[in-house]
Amino acid sequence: MNDFQKTFKAVAAASRGLNLLSDEKINHLLADLAESALASIPFLLAENKKDLDRMDAQDPKYDRLKLTEQRIKDIAADIVNVTKLPSPLGKTLAHKTLPNGLEFTKLTVPLGVIGIIYEARPNVTFDVFALCIKSGNACVLKGGSDADFSNKAIMQLIKSTLQKNGINSCAAELLPAAREATEALLNAVGFVDVLIPRGSQSLIDFVRQHAKVPVIETGAGIVHTYFDETADLEKGKHIIHNAKTRRVSVCNALDCLLIHKDRLQDLPVLLQPMTQHDVQVYADESSLAALSGNYPAQLLSNATPEHYGTEFLSYKMSVKTVGSLDEALEHIAQYSSKHSEAIVSENEMHIDTFLKAVDAAVVYANVSTAFTDGAQFGLGAEIGISTQKLHARGPMALEELTSYKWIVRGSGQVRA
């Protein structure tokens, strides 16, 4: 048995006792972790700076990697919010007694050991642990080398807090950043119950193609907003600006604006707020004509086929003119990653059709796609946004980190 397998075996062993811990004990542990994070802000920022110093500030991943005092405070607040949520364990999903006297109960239980492979997002280390421990799961984390100093510092706090609360510290493990650790985790059959990749489409594709452990995809966000012929201009301007620029490095950020051909004269007004952030716009022929002379020339380019279906993760976006709702739906069906899609419209029939027809984890009407987030959904921190249809879809929080088992009680019955 190699070192990785020994680690996985220890985590699996630790997971078996977590379901027996009271919710009060888990909440106390998480409250301690939140306090520890706040007390360790200088330490966390210093370790994070070591990672930041190794990355180009222009890299789209830089903002995801960066910790600030406020972001750490927000992370601590999210951990506290998780303590306020009801435990997802031991819930009765079904109950029945058969004529032969057998009593059947369907109860929620932890998944067991959850493996996470993620890139330059140190906040994920906190979020994953908080959600896993609250739902009775142990976790094995494999972060990227870009965030190695940050992740190690955070795991140090987590393990110290577990020990302080008398809980097996093997309930959470951070693997080395080396590629060998990824290969080991992908093949941890019998130790890891489910694997969740968080990061770029290439990372997700790699995990899906090579993992022998069951995978839940948390997909990349190729996000569209359709501004139809009835849309309110002011409403749309604020929605589109927020969806694109609130935080460009996150998976719910807008990548492609679809605009009805009858509203092209409004396009310069819609995109005017983008100039505050120097957003580079890749426009098709019709939208390019509408923007020429009305948007900074140095920020305006012809769209090429590769600009559609791209997750930019930066101050860039594409614009596509469509002639109808059906054409917008066709474009989304072709290029969407099934993450988050939105329509801006005052036509209830158009809205209803869009909400029913678009195949995505979250579909919006007259709302910014920036709300695709577990905390915004009232779920506490999230472990990812699932874009698949089996087991979980959309923001994955506590409920999505459970399975169920059947409890059967009898009084000596035997089957004939």
Q: What is the pLDDT of residues 114-142, one digit of tens each?
A: 999 998 889 999 999 999 999 999 999 99
Same domain assignment for residues 140 and 165: yes
Q: In a 3-state reduction of DSSP, which class is residue 269?
A: helix
CB 26 within 8 A of CB 130: no
Q: What is the CATH number of the domain that holds 99?
A: 3.40.605.10
Cα–Cα distances (Å) from 360 to 250, 335, 396, in that order, read 17, 11, 15
- Residue 276 is encoded by which pair of tokens? 């505050």
pLDDT value at residue 8? 97
**Which strands make up the sheet holding 194-198, listed edge to edge?**
172-174, 138-142, 113-118, 194-198
Q: Is residue 233 part of a domain?
A: yes
pLDDT value at residue 198? 85
Same domain assignment for residues 132 and 271: no
pLDDT value at residue 386? 81
- Residue 1 is encoded by which pair of tokens? 């048995």
Q: Is residue 378 part of a domain?
A: no
> How many domains in the chain?
2
pLDDT value at residue 237? 97
CA-atom Rg of the chain in angstroms = 24
- Domain region containing 128: 3-218+385-409
Same domain assignment for residues 253 and 331: yes
pLDDT value at residue 180? 94
Q: Please enumerate in sequence order all residues whose Cβ is within 8 A of that of 280, keeping only pairs 6 or more positions apart, or say none.
A: 299, 301, 315, 316, 317
Same domain assignment for residues 265 and 348: yes
Same domain assignment for residues 201 and 67: yes
Same domain assignment for residues 213 and 231: no
CB 37 within 8 A of CB 75: yes
Report mean pLDDT in 10-residue bins for the chain, 416 residues: 92 94 96 98 98 90 92 94 93 96 96 93 92 96 95 98 97 95 96 90 87 86 96 97 92 96 97 96 96 96 94 94 97 94 97 96 96 82 79 85 95 90
The string of DSSP letters for 164-202 reads: HTT--GGGEEE--SSHHHHHHHHT-TTT-SEEEEES-HH
Q: Mean pLDDT score of the chain, rounded to an integer?
A: 94
CB 227 within 8 A of CB 267: no
Residues 41, 47: Cα–Cα separation, whole Å: 10
Residues 186, 205: Cα–Cα separation, whole Å: 13
Same domain assignment for residues 36 and 53: yes
